[in-house]
Amino acid sequence: MSCREPAAKENCPGKSIKLFGMDAEKSRWLLVAVGMIIYLCLGSIYSWGVFVQPVTDYYASRGVQVTANQALMPFSIAIAFLASSVLLGGRFIELYGPRKVCLFGGVLTGLGWGLSSFAVLPDLLDLSFGIIGGIGAGISYGCPMAVSAKWFPDKRGLAVGLTVFGFGFSAFFTANIAGYLIPGIGLMNTFAVFGISILIIIACLSAFLVFPPEGWKPKGHREMCSGEDAAARQFTREEMIRTPAFYSLWICFFLGAFSGLTAIGISHEVGVEIIGINPGKANFMVGSFALFNACGRPAFGFILDRFRPKAAAMLSFALISFASALLFFFGSGNPLVFLIAFSILWGCYGGWIAVAGGTTAEFFGIRDFPRCFGAVFMASGVGAIVGPQVAGLIKEQTASYLEFFPILAAVAVIGFLIALLTLNPPATKEAKT
């Protein structure tokens, strides 16, 4: 094992491995459940759309005007630092194991939320929620996913999708909890409650994260490649970034993140300004969209396992293009179109998390998965910066987010063509030499 923490009990492959005192082949699903709950905490970042108007109102009451770009900036920064920290965390996971790394990241995530309660100026939210909270979430992010990817060589897409289900589903809870707490205890106290809760939950659950012994596999499972062929599919991060397959996957993930993360960030405002629903109902609908974000992860994970990455990516981009066109032509004043289109957009981004993770493992192997996925996940961070800021710029120039959706449809068409033409597995290392 490359990490310093012990793996599951009984390190000899072929023997009965125990997890939670039970046979690992069955009890490994409990690790998926643990990962879901950890991601519920980390995914609270997706509820930022509910905080945008309270943040604007809070500082306006203190004589500080907050623009649309400023209100979205903490979310963009948090996603960007989350993505860059996944890259950093991948190396730490291999060195120190998922347990310690997840704990450390959970402490930083809780601290970021907690420090936001002391932000006397809106720009300080960029530091607390954005940088500190984003770094913490990113450091923890790869841990449950890496654990699931290594314990489920036979159902990798589904297991990873179910694990990260919690990240997408988080906003269903956190958006509604925030919508309830902010009017009752105030914006700043809500930040504090979130911070304390996240810290305690992740600190407790990270203790259960552990990798399987080297070479462990479930009974009856056979790799698609075996022997020397299987070894040839185990890329290091340095080897991975020299393959065309990496750049194709990275660009596709960037375009998926550009679409999905922007939709997540502006959902509440679009509902209020374009659709004309009241803020309370918008809060509830944003929470409902999280269900589709969450369900998109195992759904696309299943598609990935069954039909492979190219088909999953092309389906996602086709749906994003359809939803964007639907909103642009029929969205104004139409709550049903709003519900359908944003459910698709949230669901497709959730699906991209599973597709990116599962494809990284399938294309490049799991031996260096945490570091490889960290490099792939950087695409999400770039998308988090570019997408919401483009949307904010359009809002400033046109006084509406509506004109953003033709751009989103065009981006999805480009993504569809890139996936169709270039998203293919890399050649084995032997074949390249």
pLDDT at 228: 46
Q: What residues contact residue 264 under an 8 Å CB cut-off, 6+ apart?
A: 46, 49, 171, 289, 293, 346, 349
- For 326-380, the DSSP string reads HHHHH-TT-HHHHHHHHHHHHHHHHHHHHHHHHHHHHHH-STTHHHHHHHHHHHH
DSSP 3-state of 18: strand
Would 159 be classed as within a structural domain? Answer: yes
CA distances from 28 to 13, 219, 302 (A): 15, 13, 18
CATH of the domain at 315: 1.20.1250.20
Angle subtended at Cα 345 by Cα 47 and Cα 397, rounded to the nearest 5 degrees: 80
151 within some domain: yes
Q: Are 98 and 144 in contact (CB under 8 A)?
A: yes
Structure tokens at 131: 């940088």
Whole-number pLDDT of residue 4: 44
Tokens of 61: 């009451």
- Element at 22 (helix H, strand E): strand 22-23
Cβ atoms of 327 and 196 closer than 8 Å: no
pLDDT of residue 344: 95
Strand partners, 19: 22
pTM recorded for the entire structure? 0.73
Bridge partners of 22, per DSSP, are 19
User: What pLDDT is attached to residue 414?
Assistant: 96
Residue 10 lies in a domain: no
Q: List all residues 6 or more positions away from 415 whose beta carbon is below 8 Å from its beta carbon.
A: 251, 252, 255, 256, 313, 316, 317, 320
If we measure between CA atoms, which residue out of 244, 351, 355, 245 comes closest to residue 309? 355
Residue 2: what pLDDT? Answer: 41
Position 325 in a domain: yes
The pLDDT profile of the chain, 433 residues, written as one tens digit per residue, is 344 455 555 444 445 677 776 776 778 888 999 999 999 999 888 788 788 889 988 998 888 888 877 888 898 888 778 877 887 787 788 788 899 999 999 999 999 999 999 988 988 999 999 999 999 999 998 899 888 888 888 777 788 888 888 887 787 788 788 888 999 899 999 999 999 999 999 999 999 998 888 777 777 555 544 444 455 578 998 999 999 999 999 999 999 999 988 887 788 788 888 888 887 777 778 767 878 888 888 889 889 888 889 999 999 999 999 999 999 999 888 999 999 999 999 899 889 988 998 899 889 988 888 889 888 988 987 887 888 888 888 988 888 888 999 999 999 999 999 999 999 999 876 555 4
Dist. CA 58–CA 188, nearest whole Å? 9
Task: Report the chain's C-alpha Rg in angstroms.
Answer: 21
pLDDT at 430: 53
Let me know: does 375 contact 296? Beta carbons within 8 Å.
no
Task: Tell whether 8 is covered by a domain.
Answer: no
Predicted pLDDT at 5: 53
Question: What is the model's pLDDT at position 127?
Answer: 94
What sign results for the dihedral spanned by CA atoms 12, 13, 16, 21?
A: positive
Within a domain: 275? yes
- Report if residue 13 sits inside a domain: no
Amino acid letter at 365?
G
Q: Are 138 and 82 in contact (CB under 8 A)?
A: yes
Residue 183: which residues within 8 A CB-CB, separation 6 or more? Answer: none
Number of separate domains in the chain: 1
Q: Is 297 helix (H, G, I), strand (E, B) or coil?
A: helix
CA distance 245 to 251: 10
Angstrom distance (rounded) from CA 408 to CA 399: 18
Burial of 12 (0-12, 13-18, 19+ CB in 10 A): exposed
C-alpha–C-alpha distance, residues 78 and 76, integer Å = 5
The residue range of the domain holding 178 is 18-424
Domain assignment of residue 24, yes or no: yes
199 burial via Cβ count (<10 Å: 0-12, 13-18, 19+)? buried
